[in-house]
Structure 1
Amino acid sequence: MDEVGALVRAAAGGDAAAWESLVARFSGLVWSVARGHGLGAAEAEEVFQITWFRFAEHIGRIRSPEQAGAWLATTARNESRKAVRVGSRVALTSDLDTLVPGVDDLSPEQVMLDAEDAELDRRRDRELVQALEELPGRCRELLRMLLASPPPSYAEVSQALGIPVGSIGPTRARCLSQLRELLVERGITGGAAQS
């Protein structure tokens, strides 16, 4: 019998130790999926909590308990996408120091140069996100997971995406190569997609 499946069934039956074991085993995976979507710490924590709440809600109805990692990764991905959509709100403030701390200490020229640099960084980031979205689904999901902070283990990635552990590194290399090609086509070069 699969160990994860046995833990899920035990937790569904009320075994607190089994539940704690599942949380310990898959917390890094859930956290990395949330952070991989570019969420801040507070939003990622909320996704983390919601994902585990949904798991507890459905634990007795999961069709393939041995695939709990994939279930959790999918749920975290869906909740992260919701959080990204909701998080695109703008916070209004009239306090210039809140928007740009220390701006009074800079010359007007330095403020303009910093603003230009920031715009170039935002453009590069937008191009990177767009290029990532153009990758085939497997590459997109793999890179998102591996770029998360903290990154999940290869075992967690393997279970979540159904990729053998030994194939993750070579697949990652191919995906990064495809991403670099897309960025070069967009005129973005340098460290944007370095492995």
Structure 2
Amino acid sequence: MATAAQGGSHLVADLVARALQGDDRAWGALVARYAPLVTSVCRRHRLDEADTLDVAQGVWLSLLEHLGSIREPAALPGWIATTTRRECLHLLTGKGGRQRAELVGEVDGATIDLTEQLDDMIVQAERHAALLEALADLPPQHQQLVVLLIHDPPLAYAEIGRQLDMPIGSIGPTRQRCLEKIRNHPAVAPLLESPARPAHR
């Protein structure tokens, strides 16, 4: 049975192969796909924005160096999560002395099951990437409709119709068609079929 992490494995394998050949767009797509995962791990370690940027830079440099040695695309998010955590701990223990070292202890002490937490973050990152991929395949107006429908705070249909120059009566049916296309998208469908956690290497 396919796992959530394996749902986009074909796309990830293609991006990795192209990135190894020097395709800057493929490399950018990999970074964009897993940037939310890196940010999530940094937040778990209570890093501020500047430190998060430093950690992310270290993670992407390390990935660039080791990309060719990652044999299975499904293992990539786990590798990124583990590398990010290592970078976070390195920064916390090496920058700021005892107070930051104590913070590392608090983070580790509060972690009942780090593996499970990383799994959750990996699954969330894969779902985020799959939804973005499915959204990008919708027509431009439908993309805008989906974005407006999930706006926070919620927008009234009248406001959405005004912004998109769309009759209010057509918003509901169009929304349903968009959701159906997203659910059936090749990147999203495997995630809906299998809620299993990603397998560890």
TM superposition score normalised by structure 1: 0.51
Residue equivalent to 1:132: 110
Number of residues paired by the alignment? 123
Q: Does 1:166 align with 2:166?
A: no
Judged with a 3 Å threshold, the aligned counterparts in structure 2 of structure 1 residues 131 and 16 are, in CA distance, closer, same or farther, namely closer
Residue equivalent to 1:190: none
Q: Within 2, Cα distance between the matches of 1:128 and 1:77?
A: 14
Q: Which amino acid aligns with 2:28?
A: E
Q: Within 1, Cα distance between the matches of 2:114 and 2:70?
A: 24
Q: Within 2, Cα distance between the matches of 1:88 and 1:18?
A: 37
Instruction: Considering Cα pairs closer than 8 Å and 6+ residues apart, tell me whether 1 or 2 has the greater RCO.
Output: 2
Q: Does 1:29 align with 2:25?
A: no
Q: Does 1:11 align with 2:22?
A: no
Deviation string, structure 1 residues 122-170 (Cα, Å, up to 9, x no partner): xxx999757523x134345467x59xxxxx546269xxxxx997367xx
Q: Within 1, Cα distance between the matches of 2:87 and 2:104?
A: 22
Deviation string, structure 1 residues 61-112 (Cα, Å, up to 9, x no partner): 2222342222111110111111111234279xxxxxxxxxxxxxxxxxxxxx
Q: Which amino acid aligns with 1:166?
A: P
Q: Does 1:85 align with 2:114?
A: no
TM superposition score normalised by structure 2: 0.50
Q: Within 1, Cα distance between the matches of 2:51 and 2:80?
A: 17
Deviation string, structure 1 residues 3-62 (Cα, Å, up to 9, x no partner): 111111110111111111111111111121122111121111100000000001111222
Q: Within 2, Cα distance between the matches of 1:51 and 1:21?
A: 15
Residue equivalent to 1:55: 63
Q: Which amino acid aligns with 1:138?
A: T
Q: Which amino acid aligns with 1:155?
A: R
- Answer yes or no: is the 8 Å Cα contact 2:45–2:107 preserved in 1: no
Q: Does 1:155 align with 2:127?
A: yes
User: What is the aligned counterpart of 1:45 among 35, 38, 53?
Assistant: 53
Residue equivalent to 2:76: 68
- Overall identity of the aligned pairs, in %: 30
Q: Within 2, Cα distance between the matches of 1:5 and 1:12?
A: 11
